[in-house]
Chains A and B, each alone.
Chain A
Amino acid sequence: MQVYLPVAEMAVNLFALMGLGAVAGFLSGMFGVGGGFLLTPFLIFLGVPPNVAVATQANQLVGASVSGLLGHWQRRNVDVRLGLVMLAGGTAGSLLGVLLFNLLQRLGQIDLAISILYVALLGVVGLAMVLESLVSLLWRRRAPLPLEDTAGNWRSRIPGRMYFPRSGLTISPLLPGGIGFVGGVLVAVMGIGGGFVMVPAMIYMLRMPISLVAGTSLFQILFTTAGATLLQATVNHAVDVVLAFCLLLGGVVGAQWGIRLAARVQGERARLTLGLMVGTVALKLALDLLEVPVEPFTLAPARLP
């Protein structure tokens, strides 16, 4: 059964969409990642225009992150003060990201930018995951956390001071704000939640208690993606609600399977599989950039002068 997407102006198979959403939801339930890193390239591959894919992803991530956030909130695992500072950065980042996206589109280089960013991001993350889980599996012990800063307390050299009671940290707000900023840019330009980048940064750069990291990052993601959705809807008119809701409907089902399966599968094995999947997607995108295109010419509507 086909469904016509009013903003994307094309018809897609409804079950393919829901299935895609289910896979993304499954990944989020299992690993706590947004799944956006898979969805955006796949949507573009299906023929959805890149700006609609990225903007609609922001919308989809709102729904995908709310259930996870609720769970953490109920367990009081969210540092709201820190989250708000990150959110301020995230809003600024998504605003810059939307402008950047527009510029790249006008130059006709948006496909290239998205591909390169994905190859870089997924390549690094996939590799890190594979290595970390292999180390854990083969040597049967946790991958060692980095040693205490041998470079001295570089954090204290960053201007500004704020006390975050829930995490027990006294650091410059520019740090979490900066992390949130990067997350915001990623949402607007790539259509991913940014958790991939923010969670390790929160653990290693901010030294937040690990129990608070997931919930706080979801807090930032939820509100940043909500803001990005509003931005994209008003500035670019690129949000397709029909697409977003179809993906979400599949997503909530997939997430439940993912959560159930997560309890039964060994963590390291699952992370290894995910790392391999992510690495494969990165490899495919890299090959696409390098291989001689079958049709080197593309058409795009021209801006009215």
Chain B
Amino acid sequence: MRRALAIFLVVVAGLGGGGRQGRAQTMSLHADLSSYLIAITTGFTGAEVVLFGVTDAPGDIVVRVTGPAMPLVVRRKEPVAGLWVNRRSMRFEDVPGYYAVAASRPDVLTAHARLAARLQLGVDNLRLESVTTAPDPETKAIFRAALIRNKQARGLFPEGVGEVTVFRSNQTRLFRTTVRFPATVPTGKYKVETLVLHQGEAIKADVHILSVGKTGISAEIFEFSRLHDILYGLAAVTGALMIGWGGAAMFRR
């Protein structure tokens, strides 16, 4: 009798838990971007993309944008005979070219601290690996912090947590956030993730790919300079000769 009751309770608990999961599956999250392509044209000074969406899942809405990863070297200047010279350096692999987080609450990283660490959410949780042997963990931490600071100064790792504006109507929420890219933004594919965090889990996710590329004359010049480098060099020399000659000829009247 007691055994049957135990089994019965386990089954009910299981059903209850499964019910929660089942409820999450019937909930929805849809996100969209105002633009899926950022075209770097001749007058490019940066860009803004609006992410918007709707969800009826409970929890905190988080948006993360990650740019293409690349290896970087961080160098530190130290005084050598009075001159400040680059000395020690550390190489970091897979550093995102851009990294931004926005959320419907500003303290999202502390409110979901363990989940954020697991998802590498937030700059401090980014696993920036270094192949250079660091003399001690403090030095590595200093270099890592310098890497983040430099990226922040260039607007490539926007500081803090951005704002996701939420409009609620009963169970359904409409949300939007603006992602800002500086002029120095690297080209490539960016991952735009929208997450709903609830009770220590990311219960919903929607992922989009945003492309940043050079278009127009700038792109063509760039391509030409790489693919047909000899012709490009000759064109550069010829063009300079023509401008120099022409300018002098024009004024010699």
Contact = CB atoms under 8 A, between A and B. Distances in A.
Interface in A227-247: 229-234, 237, 239, 241-242, 244-245
A2 B45 contact: yes
B236 A59 contact: yes
A298 interface: yes
Contacts of B43: 1-4, 11
A64 B236 contact: no
Contacts of A300: 72-73, 75
Contact of B241 (A62, A233, A253): A62
Interface string A199-234: 000000000000000000000000000100111111
Contacts of A10: 183-184
B70 interface: yes
B82 interface: yes
Given A10-B184, A299-B72, A301-B71, A252 B244 contact: yes
B74 A230 contact: no
Interface residues of B, number: 59
The bracket for how many chain A residues form the interface is: 35 or more
Contacts of A103: none
A116 B82 CA distance: 13
Contacts of B1: none
Contacts of B232: 233, 239, 241
Given A66-B240, A248-B247, 19 more contacts: A4-B40, A4-B41, A6-B217, A7-B225, A11-B44, A63-B244, A226-B237, A226-B241, A233-B233, A237-B226, A239-B225, A241-B239, A244-B240, A245-B243, A252-B247, A252-B251, A290-B82, A296-B78, A302-B92
13 contacts: A4-B43, A11-B183, A66-B241, A70-B248, A229-B236, A234-B233, A252-B251, A289-B83, A290-B83, A296-B76, A297-B149, A298-B86, A302-B70
